[in-house]
Amino acid sequence: MNVTVDRNAGFCWGVVRTIEIAEEELAASPKLHSLGHIIHNPVEVERLEGKGLETVTHADFERLRGQKVLIRAHGEPPSTYELARRHGVTLVDATCPVVTKVQERIRRFVDRDFQVVIFGKKDHAEVIGLVGHTNGRAIVVGTPAEAAAVDPGRKTVLFSQTTMDKEEFQKVAAVLRTRVAELEIGTFEESAVEFHAKDTICGQVSGRDKKLREFARANDVIVFVAGRASSNGKVLFEICRSENPRTHFVETDEELEGAWFDGAESVGITGATSTPQWLMDRVRGSVLAFEARRHKATV
């Protein structure tokens, strides 16, 4: 049985940057705090905790005076920076530059008195941060149906959480175009992060769609590795499953089931932009171990 790890899977460059910043800080100091889980992958979080990273909440700032708190790739609202200032907490800002660019663009439209609509998940950390940059006035919609509730009488701009599905974003935009007379779609300008798109969905996320579909079709079985809290992971998993019904979601190799691979000649291992390469390699090794035991039992 051929078992292949998807070379296009794994950490996006924004997550790589955040992990590198955290590891540099931990190498220089025995303790670093992360505001929320640094990424939506419990196995990688556990690895970093072993190096001294502690996950905290906003409520912990009062006891962290004089200490360092990492802002993860999702970003934070302005209120977090003010809270840190009041309590004497030093922030290590590892916000993904793509997210930072969205925040900057949103503020420009707020200054021009636009109604800001964000396509995303209301409780997602990135969206909470984006809404904070509108003084809490942004309208968050998760489906095209919800977009119908937007006030059609105001000049409006549509942005997206960076990890949402591109096709669904376009459906939301289509609904707003039929209702709102003055509508703009949030766009990036050319910048130092070398990112340019017609919408605010991360190009590294949306760009995976085609290659992921090809990878899913090319294998008899797909094992999708991601944290269950990963928004990006949920989207990419559904893309895989739409192309290959023998797609299985796991957080670790301990969740693998031997029956998944019955009759399979090829197995593909892939994952989310928050899935570490070392974990996908470990899952590959466990799948090969299943096959070795099966082969030994039949000899």
Which CATH number covers residue 257?
3.40.1010.20
Q: What is the pLDDT of residue 200?
A: 64
CB 126 within 8 A of CB 90: no
Q: pLDDT (tens digit, 0 to 9) for every residue of the chain, 299 residues total? A: 999 999 989 888 888 899 999 999 999 987 899 999 998 899 999 999 999 999 999 999 999 999 999 999 999 999 999 999 999 999 999 999 989 999 999 999 999 999 999 999 999 999 999 999 999 999 999 999 999 889 999 999 999 998 787 888 899 999 999 999 999 997 644 333 333 334 566 665 666 788 999 999 999 999 999 999 887 788 899 999 999 999 999 999 999 999 999 999 999 999 998 899 999 999 999 999 988 887 777 65
Tell me: do 196 and 266 sit in the same domain: no
211 and 135 share one domain: no
Q: Are residues 244 and 151 both part of a single domain?
A: no
- Beta strands 2-5 and 90-93 are unpaired
Q: Is 10 left (phi over 0), alpha (psi -120 to 50) or beta?
A: left
DSSP letters for 50-62: TTTEEEE-GGGGG
Domain boundary residue among 162, 182, 202?
202
3-state secondary structure of 63: helix
184 and 104: one domain?
A: yes
Do the Cβ atoms of 2 and 265 come closer than 8 Å?
Answer: yes
Q: How many CB atoms lie within 10 A of CB 120?
A: 26
* Measured CA distances, 164 to 8, 44, 206, 250 (Å): 18, 22, 8, 21
The letter for the amino acid at 18 is: T
- Split into its structural domains, the chain has a count of 3
C-alpha atoms less than 13 angstroms from C-alpha of 144 in its C-beta half-sphere: 14
Q: Measuring CA to CA, which residue among 105, 107, 104, 75 is closest to residue 91? A: 75
Identify whether residues 81 and 107 lie together within a single domain.
no
Does residue 215 share a domain with residue 174?
Answer: no
Domain span at 180 = 98-202
Tell me, yes or no, whether 128 and 91 share the same domain. Answer: no
Q: What pLDDT is stored for residue 273 in this prediction?
A: 84
CA gap 144, 217 in Å, rounded? 29
Terminal-residue alpha carbon distance, the chain? 16
Last residue of a domain, one of 95, 117, 152: 95
User: Tokens representing 150?
Assistant: 């937007």
Strand ranges inside 115-257, DSSP E:
115-119, 139-141, 156-160, 183-185, 221-225, 247-250
Is there a single domain that holds both residue 91 and residue 102?
Answer: no
Q: Which residues are catalytic?
A: 126
Check whether residue 176 and residue 212 sit in a common domain: no
Q: Which of 152, 176, 202 is the last residue of a domain?
A: 202
Q: Which amino acid, 250?
A: V
123 and 75 within one domain: no
Regarding whether 187 and 108 lie in a shared domain, the answer is yes
Please report the pLDDT score of residue 193 as a whole number: 35
89 and 112 belong to one structural domain: no
